Amino acid sequence: MYNINMLKNSKILIVEDEHDINRLIELVLLSDGYHNIKKAYDGQEALNIIKNYMPDLVLLDVMLPEIDGFTVCKVIKQDIRLKNIPIIMLTAKKMEEDIVKGFECGAIDYITKPFSNKILLARIHAHLAKEQNKILSYKTLVLNEDKRSAEIDNQEIKLTRFEFEILKLFIANVGKVYTRSQILEYLRGDDGFDISERAVDVQILNIRRKLNKLSTDLETLRGVGYRLKEPNNE
């Protein structure tokens, strides 16, 4: 399931050198409720914006001045910070080799111009919804698994690797009680995290400090373990 409000709050970058088409796409997105939109008109400008804006999805034209769309896509996918950003290629070409080349560069989809507004929105919606499934939320706390980032009230909080994994476990299983040994087993998992049972308590303490007003939601059940309480269990 996805949150439609969160979906429409996604950050989208339109990269299209033809101003009329760029503006048309922007209007189509605005009319459908998307409002966090930025625009670029050449490949270099797109790369500059992406590194700072960190969009949730990029609509990328193939034929661009300065740097073409294929190259822009390759650069994004080679950057560890940017590689998980989904890219939909926009092209006037229907040639099979161009479509294949786009996928080889790392694009997740392509749309040929001229395009149907409904199809454009449907593709964007589908891919953003898919990406949103990688996002876990609890009240005002949001974890992004791909970006390994966390926010409370839209403010980033810094989490260690252990803290992120523990919070992910609790948010994915709200209300469920976990013992120290169960948390330890989860952390060790396939990654082989090296952590002791006593260290689990330290991690929980550190997480509470970073959760601020949500700190009391991470409850201790003495002699049993820990749980993230149900949102309506105030």
For the stretch 172-183, pLDDT in tens is 889 999 999 999
Is 74 in the same domain as 185? no
Q: Which residues contact 69 (CB under 8 A, 6 or more apart)?
A: 15, 43, 60, 61, 62, 63, 89, 90, 91, 102
Q: Which DSSP state fits 141?
A: E
Is 17 in the same domain as 122? yes
User: In this structure, which amino acid lies at residue 187?
Assistant: L
Are 59 and 14 in contact, with CB atoms under 8 Å apart?
Answer: yes
Pairing mode of beta strands 87-91, 109-112: parallel
CA distance 2 to 9: 12
User: Does 234 fall in a domain?
Assistant: no
Residues of the chain under the 50 pLDDT cut:
190
Chain center to CA of 134: 7
User: Does 31 fall in a domain?
Assistant: yes
Is 154 in the same domain as 127? no
Q: Which DSSP state fits 213?
A: G
Which helix (H) or strand (E) segment holds residue 99: the answer is: helix 96-105
End residue of a domain, out of 132, 159, 184 = 132
Is 124 in the same domain as 183? no
CA distance 63 to 17: 8
CA distance 43 to 60: 9
CA distance 119 to 202: 50
pLDDT for position 188 = 77
pLDDT for position 145 = 81
Is 96 in the same domain as 12? yes
Are 72 and 43 in contact, with CB atoms under 8 Å apart?
Answer: yes
Is 19 in the same domain as 97? yes
Structure tokens that stand for 47 in this block: 């790369």
pLDDT for position 45 = 97
Q: Edge-to-edge, what's the strand order for the sheet holding 135-138?
A: 135-138, 141-144, 149-152, 155-157
CA distance 98 to 91: 9
Is 126 in the same domain as 139? no
User: Which residue segment(s) compose the domain that 175 sits in?
Assistant: 135-228
Token look-up 């070409």 returns 93
Is 97 in the same domain as 54? yes
pLDDT for position 2 = 55
pLDDT for position 50 = 95
Q: Residue 226: beta bridge partners?
A: 178, 220
User: Does 22 fall in a domain?
Assistant: yes
User: Does 233 fall in a domain?
Assistant: no
Is 88 in the same domain as 189? no
Domain total of the chain? 2
pLDDT for position 133 = 66
pLDDT for position 136 = 82
Phi, psi of 156 (to 5 degrees): -65, 140
Token look-up 């991690």 returns 203
Is 102 in the same domain as 168? no
